[in-house]
Amino acid sequence: MRMAFINVPVADKETSKSFYSALGFTPNPQFESDTTACILVEENIFVLVHEPERWKDFLHSEPAPAGTTAFMIALSADSRDECDTLKAKALANGGSEYGPAQDFGFMYGTSFRDPDGHVWEVTWMDVAAAAEAGGINSPS
């Protein structure tokens, strides 16, 4: 089984720990330092949040300009309700709107920005119905 370690720059690790904890994720002190916190999303998915001085140690190029979306992190959900619930928790705890919900019938997703502007998507899919429909890019 692969593990995913998602590294993101943040202004303040304690703010990020509080935000992700409010989403139901668990801080993991095993990989924490004065400038980095680790949050366990699921058994094999970790988010490591790094304050600016530590983030610079990871880069071999210039960081993405502030206010840009360099990548989007997508998580699966067990239901449409779970998508909406996670977004509501994010918005209530320092996150912000990113885009409207997308509903393809067999697939539903929401999105939000965390306190540092990183974009998160939460998506539910009925895999059997998606296969029948030919996927989201099939002609109407």
pLDDT in tens, 28-54: 998 899 999 999 999 999 999 999 889
CA–CA dist 39, 46 (Å, integer): 6
Instruction: Taking residues 78-91, report their average pLDDT.
Output: 97
pLDDT in tens, 62-72: 777 777 777 88
Q: Where in the chain is the domain with CATH 3.10.180.10?
A: 1-63, 66-140
Class of domain 1-63: alpha beta
| pTM listed for this prediction | 0.85
- What is each CA distance from 49 to 29, 34, 109, 124, 133, in whole angstroms? 12, 11, 24, 26, 39
Q: Is the pLDDT of residue 138 over 60?
A: no
Domain 66-140 grouped into CATH 3.10.180.10: yes
Buried b (16+ CB within 10 A) or exposed e, 100-132: eeeeeebbbbbbbbbbbbbbbbbbbeeeeebee
101 and 112 Cβ atoms separated by less than 8 Å = no
